[in-house]
Structure 1
Amino acid sequence: MKLSRADVLLMAFCTGLIVANIYYCQPLIILIAREFNITESVAGRATYLTQAGYAIGLLLLVPLGDMFERKKQILVITGLAILSLLIAGFSQSFLVLQIACVLIGASSIVPQLILPMAANLSSDENRGQTVGIIMSGLLIGILGSRSVSGTIGYLWGWRSMFLIAAGICLLLVLLMARRFPSSLPSFKGNYKQLMGSMFGYIKTQPVLRETSLINFLAFATLSAFWTTMVLYLASPPFNYQSLQIGLFGIAGAAGALAAPLVGKLSDGKDPRRNLLIGLLLQLISIVAFYFTKHHIFLFVAGIILLDIGQQAIHVTNQTRIYALIPEARNRLNTVFMSVSFVGASVGSAAGLWLWDKGQWPLFCLGSGLVISTNILLYYFYKQRKQPELA
């Protein structure tokens, strides 16, 4: 079976709505802190615990997509996401909410099952473009989730967002059960052999190591910003509420428009050429953030550049690893995305630490250092001239 454009758009739609579960909590930090009578930086733990849960789910659950029928796995894991969201919505202590956030992250890995499914059903010449379209849906879900949750949290309280998300996932289960194609597993061994083969690819695939490391630092930068900016915008001179903070996610959605183009460019002979552009855009965005002060339009411009840069880095790297070993795409994607979201979790925690130590200026300096390190890594791997199969 080959994917039609309608199939690809449906997958992008489902991917965006499910991945949104990971990010709903970010604009709600202030509201959560008030209800549980904790500081905002402590409430921020919910953000990196969700990302840590996502990394755990990627490591333990996504490889099963090469071993079991993907459609059934997608439906079961989305069912677990519904349960996790309900636990968060009805939690009566911050401890329970933190546990629920880990479970929400672990059960929101469905997009990383949809992407390899789509890659397997796409032709070689269209694979990058297909991945780019679905990544657009994913990025719109990530960035739109912040605007939606900020608005709903402001109007009806932070619990309402988790309960509404549970209802959305229930509708998606019904839709995916009806429309998603079935797929045959490609791995015949047991779970131990499956995981062993995955770690074997880390040793034997230099492109996988390169893409994972660069993505680790890129995700750390992006996640540190989206966690710390909540505290920045809630402080003087802005003093914004969750509704206003959430609306800044709309600015980041501009990056989603770049994903199909980046994906198409990644189908060419030199897919790495987009990486440096993405890294430089991220660096320019941090400079804009540093000089924002009262200039909110400069801040918005920085968000747009940051997310377009992230798209250039992520879509390019993901297209590259999908071209390595077709029958092991789930396992390769597991390594790649697990490392990426460990980076996201570390970035969120580091961003909160930098904020506590030196507020916004120190956060910007720290982020600039991380991006500069990533640029050095890019040139290091470029000099080694690793072979590309994409």
Structure 2
Amino acid sequence: MSEAAQCVDDRASHDERTLSSAETLLIAIACGALAANLYYAQPLVDLIAPSVGLGNAAEGMIVTATQIGYAAGLILLLPLGDLLDSRKLVLATMLVNIVAILGMVATTSEASFFAAMLFVGASSTAAQLLVPLSATLTPQHRRGAVVGRVMSGLLMGILLARPAASFLADHIGWRGVFVASAGLLLVIGIFLMRMLPSHQSQTRQSYGKLLRSLATLLATEPVLRRRAFYHAMMFAAFSMFWTGAPLLLLSDAYGFSNSQVALFALVGVLGVFAAPVSGALADRGHGYAGTIAALSIAIAAFALAIFGNHSLLALLAAGVLLDLGVQGNMVISQREIFALDPEIRNRLNAVYMATFFCGGAVGSALVSPLMHYFGWNLFAIVGTAFPVVALVAFFLFEPSPSETPRAETASDVA
């Protein structure tokens, strides 16, 4: 971190008021509710497609459209957090999200449905505006713990979205699921309007220059480059498992129903407990050891998953361990990149998220060919390779704690 950036961060930590426990909880809930929008549709594709006139070939595009919108939002919206008042930007983006959800529910046209889905995905990135804001409004010695709590909320939303959508759709239909989401976001937005502190960035660059700077961040920030790579590998493994495991459970090997698969997915909720613990460990200067532990846990998870086609207990244990490792690594990595420069936190987060999002896309794309042509065992072996590559890269390229610059260590903020 540069001396000027450290001074700005010190002012943010000591001169401005910091987040209260209630504000942190509210931000965590908001992040979860926004992130859940990306996943509600996944188990509801068979219900959504006929109601908006989609054929079988276009069903997969329902989820893809949201993901494309989200990727666009990461690149186009997050840099605005380094330019505008973060509170106003978050509230405006949430309002767009609510309108887009209601538009998606109201439409019966294929073209307008996909356009609404793109906007739902793009505006759901308001969650990723809240994460760096929570870091900015928190003293450095508490930042990992607070970011961990916020990420716990975000991850809880991701993990609960699929089973919640499956259960609710049986009672209120797929449109009811999204109307409920819009109502929840409206309530949360009202509370955020009253409680969320303002934060005006000091950046005076143009929006175009901010966008162009994204392309150079990976080249000029080695911490960002390393951490984005580690988590791209981890998220590839995560996406592989949580796309492949339901297919295994629905197959003749287990013969689960959709509701039973939804119950299985709930084991992933245990992973959220890794986020605040990992953040607190990083605050105490244990980020190096914590990363090794997180990557190793993910390797152990896939080693267990190899037996998942014969043992439900092994598959359950693999799901729990994988989520613990992935969420732990994510929070430690975010704490590291948020320490680089407080004035570019939103752009750092945009590059970090977009990079590991690509890793997740690669992992998801491998599932069908691997399981169809080679079966579950090779699928699990390939999944193991991703965290193994991340761990090897960590040992090769990550500076040991004794080599880390003093400005980037927890000892700086005793």
Report the residue type matching 1:387 in the other structure: T
Alignment match of 2:315 (pick from 299, 319, 332): 299
Structure-to-structure mapping, 1:131-150, within 5 angstroms: 131-150=147-166
| Equivalent in 276, 284, 291 of residue 292 of structure 2 | 276
Q: Number of residue pairs matched?
A: 388
Q: Matched residues in 2 for 1:44 and 1:358: separation?
A: 23
1:169 equivalent among 174, 177, 185? 185
Distance 2:397 2:380 in 1: 26
**Where does structure 2 lack aligned partners over 5 or more consecutive residues?**
1-16, 410-414
Aligned partner of residue 317 in structure 2, secondary structure: helix
Q: Is the contact between residue 98 and residue 185 of structure 2 (CA under 8 Å) also seen in structure 1?
A: yes
Q: 1:15 is matched with which residue: 31, 36, 48?
A: 31
Q: What is the SS of the residue equivalent to 2:332?
A: helix
Q: 2:272 aligns with which of 239, 256, 262?
A: 256
- Partner of 1:329 in structure 2? 345
**Other-structure match for 2:129:** 113
How many Å separate the matches in 2 of 1:187 and 1:130?
Answer: 24
Letter in 2 for 1:308: L
Code of the residue aligned with 2:338 in structure 1: it is Y
Residues 195 and 144 (structure 1), Cα distance of their counterparts in 2 relative to 1, 3 Å cut: same
Hey, what does 2:364 align to over in structure 1? 348
2:62 corresponds to 1:56: no
**Greater shift in the superposed pair: 312-321 or 147-156:** 147-156
Contact 2:74–2:354 (Cα < 8 Å) also in 1:
yes
How many angstroms does 1:374 deviate by?
1.8
User: Equivalent residue of 2:73, what SS?
Assistant: helix
User: Which residue of the other structure, out of 39, 43, 65, is the alignment partner of 2:81?
Assistant: 65
Equivalent of 2:56, from 38, 50, 55? 38
- What is the CA-CA distance between 1:300 and the residue it aligns to? 1.5
- 317-326 vs 29-38, greater mean Cα deviation: 29-38
Report if the CA contact (8 A) 2:201-2:343 is conserved: no
Which amino acid letter does the alignment assign opposite residue 24 of structure 1? Answer: Y
The 1:34/1:176 distance shift into structure 2, 3 A limit, reads: same
Aligned equivalent of 1:387: 404
Q: 1:316 to 1:56 in 2, by over 3 A?
A: same
State the Cα deviation string for residues 156-182 of structure 1 (Å, max 9, x = none).
433332222122222222221122111
1:151, distance to aligned residue in structure 2 (A): 0.9
The letter for the 1-side match of 2:185 is: C
2:257 is aligned to 241
Q: Which sections of structure 1, spanning at least 5 residues, go unmatched?
A: none
**How much is the aligned-residue C-alpha RMSD, in angstroms?**
2.4
For residues 69-84 of structure 1, the aligned pairs below 5 Å read 69-84=85-100
CA gap 1:110/1:29 in 2 versus in 1, 3 angstroms? same
Distance 1:364 1:6, change over 3 A: same
Among all aligned residue pairs of Structure 1 and Structure 2, give the percentage whose two residues are the same amino acid.
34
Q: Please identify, of 57-66 and 284-293, the stretch whose mean Cα deviation from structure 2 is larger.
A: 284-293
Deviation of residue 43 (structure 1)?
3.7
Query: Partner of 1:192 in structure 2?
Result: 208
Counterpart residue identity of residue 183, structure 1: H
TM-score, length basis structure 1: 0.91
In structure 2, C-alpha distance between the alignment counterparts of 1:355 and 1:8, rounded to whole Å: 41
Query: Quick one: structure 1 residues 95 and 305, their matched pair in 2 at CA, closer, same or farther if it must change by over 3 Å?
Result: farther
How far is the alpha carbon of 1:273 from its aligned partner? 1.8
Determine if contact 1:52/1:341 at 8 Å carries over to the other structure.
no
Corresponding residue number in structure 1 for 2:391: 375
Alpha carbons of structure 1 residues 256 and 384: separation in structure 2 relative to 1, 3 Å: closer
- The C-alpha deviation readout for 1:361-384, integer Å capped at 9, x for no partner, is 343232122222222222221368
Q: Secondary structure at the match of 2:309?
A: coil
| Cα distance change, pair 44–217 in 1 and its aligned pair in 2 (3 A) | farther
Task: Tell me, in whole angstroms, the C-alpha distance in 2 between the residues paired with 1:275 and 1:28.
Answer: 36
Taking a change above 3 Å as real, the CA distance of residues 203 and 294 of structure 1, as seen in their structure-2 partners, is closer
List aligned pairs for 1:313-328, cutoff 5 A: 313-328=329-344
Check whether the contact 1:135–1:259 (CA below 8 A) recurs between aligned residues. Answer: yes
Say if 1:29 and 1:302 are closer, same or farther in 2 by CA, change over 3 A: farther
Deviation of the 1:280 alpha carbon = 1.7
Q: Distance in 1 between matches of 2:145 and 2:314?
A: 31
